[in-house]
Amino acid sequence: MSGNIHYEVFFKKNRKSGWALYEARDDRDSAIKLAHDLLAKNKDGSARVTKEIFDDGERKFRSVPVLEAGAEAFGTVKEKTGEARLPCLTPDDLSKPHARDTIRRVLSGWLERVQAIPMELLHRVDLVEDLEASDTELQHAVQKVAVASARENDANVQGFVKQLNELVQKALGRIYKDARDDRLPSFPKKASFKDVAGEIFARDRRAYSLRAAMADRLKSERKYADKLEALLEMSESLPEAEDARAFALAEVDSYIAEVISFDAGREALLGTCKDLGETLERLACLFDGDHSAGALSLAPRASKRLAKKIGTREFEACRTEVAHALLRELERPGRLRPTSVREEVRLARDLASRLVIAADSLLPADALIKAFSARSARLLQPETIDELLRHARDPGEEVDRLLSLEENLVGETNKSKLAGYVRSIMGNARADSHFVRGEGKPLERLAALTALQTRVLRGSYPKADKLELAASFDTLGMKVVDDSKILNMVEAGDRPALDKATALLRLATGGALPLGRCTQDAQARAVRHLKAAVQNDETICEEGRAKLKGIQALMKQLEASQAEAA
* pLDDT, tens digit (0-9, with 9 covering 90-100), for 291-311: 999 999 999 999 999 999 999
**For residue 412, with 0-12 CB atoms within 10 Å meaning exposed, 13-18 middle and 19 or more buried, which class applies?**
middle
**For residue 3, with 0-12 CB atoms within 10 Å meaning exposed, 13-18 middle and 19 or more buried, which class applies?**
exposed
Task: State which residues form the domain around 40.
Answer: 5-70
Shared-domain flag, residues 498 and 467? no
Under a CB-based contact definition with an 8 Å cutoff, are residues 257 and 297 in contact? no
| Cα–Cα distance, 264 to 252 (Å, whole number) | 19
- CA angle (212 as vertex; 215, 253 as ends), nearest 5: 65
Res 248: pLDDT: 97
Is 230 a residue whose pLDDT tops 90? yes
Q: For residue 69, which amino acid is it?
A: A
| Cα–Cα distance, 566 to 555 (Å, whole number) | 16
Assigned domain for 245 exists:
no
Is 281 a residue whose pLDDT tops 80? yes
| Cα–Cα distance, 483 to 473 (Å, whole number) | 15
Shared-domain flag, residues 467 and 534? no
Domain closes at, from 444, 466, 484: 484
Q: pLDDT by residue (tens digit) across 512-555?
A: 999 999 999 999 999 999 999 889 888 888 998 999 999 999 99
Shared-domain flag, residues 474 and 525? no
Shared-domain flag, residues 476 and 491? no
Res 74: pLDDT: 54
Res 1: pLDDT: 41
**Which of helix, strand or coil describes residue 357?**
helix
* CA 534 to each of CA 229, 502, 539: distance values in angstroms, whole numbers, following the listed order: 87, 14, 6
Q: pLDDT confidence of 42, banded at 50, 70, 90?
A: confident
Number of separate domains in the chain: 5
Higher pLDDT, 455 or 24: 455
Assigned domain for 216 exists:
no
| Cα–Cα distance, 155 to 163 (Å, whole number) | 12
Assigned domain for 57 exists:
yes
Shared-domain flag, residues 479 and 497? no
Q: What is the mean pLDDT of residues 383-406?
A: 94
Shared-domain flag, residues 11 and 65? yes
Is 435 a residue whose pLDDT tops 90? yes
Shared-domain flag, residues 277 and 332? yes
Assigned domain for 77 exists:
no
Q: pLDDT by residue (tens digit) across 151-198?
A: 667 667 777 778 888 888 888 899 999 998 888 899 999 899 999 999
Under a CB-based contact definition with an 8 Å cutoff, are residues 513 and 446 in contact? yes
Q: pLDDT by residue (tens digit) across 241-268?
A: 999 999 999 999 999 999 999 999 999 9
Q: What percent of the chain has pLDDT over 90?
A: 61
Please count the residues of the chain.
Answer: 566
Assigned domain for 153 exists:
yes
Which residues partner with 70 through β-bridges?
46
Average pLDDT, rounded, for the chain: 89
- CA angle (244 as vertex; 240, 248 as ends), nearest 5: 100
Q: pLDDT by residue (tens digit) across 123-161?
A: 999 999 999 888 678 888 888 887 777 766 766 777 777
Is 407 a residue whose pLDDT tops 90? no
Assigned domain for 310 exists:
yes
Shared-domain flag, residues 266 and 336? yes
Assigned domain for 222 exists:
no
Which residues partner with 71 through β-bridges?
none
Q: pLDDT confidence of 60, banded at 50, 70, 90?
A: low
Shared-domain flag, residues 496 and 480? no
Is 77 a residue whose pLDDT tops 60? no
**For residue 98, with 0-12 CB atoms within 10 Å meaning exposed, 13-18 middle and 19 or more buried, which class applies?**
exposed
**Which of helix, strand or coil describes residue 48?**
strand
Q: pLDDT by residue (tens digit) across 198-216?
A: 999 999 999 999 999 999 9
Domain closes at, from 448, 467, 484: 484
Domain closes at, from 443, 462, 484: 484
Which residues partner with 316 through β-bridges?
none
Shared-domain flag, residues 509 and 444? no
Shared-domain flag, residues 98 and 59? no
Shared-domain flag, residues 364 and 429? no
Helix axis angle, 365-379 to 341-358, nearest 10°: 170
Is 84 a residue whose pLDDT tops 70? no
Strands of 172-241 (E only): list them.
none
393: enclosing H helix or E strand: none
Higher pLDDT, 53 or 275: 275
Buried b / exposed e along 234-257 (16+ C-beta atoms within 10 A): bbeebbeeeebbebbbbbbbbbbb
Assigned domain for 522 exists:
yes
Res 2: pLDDT: 45
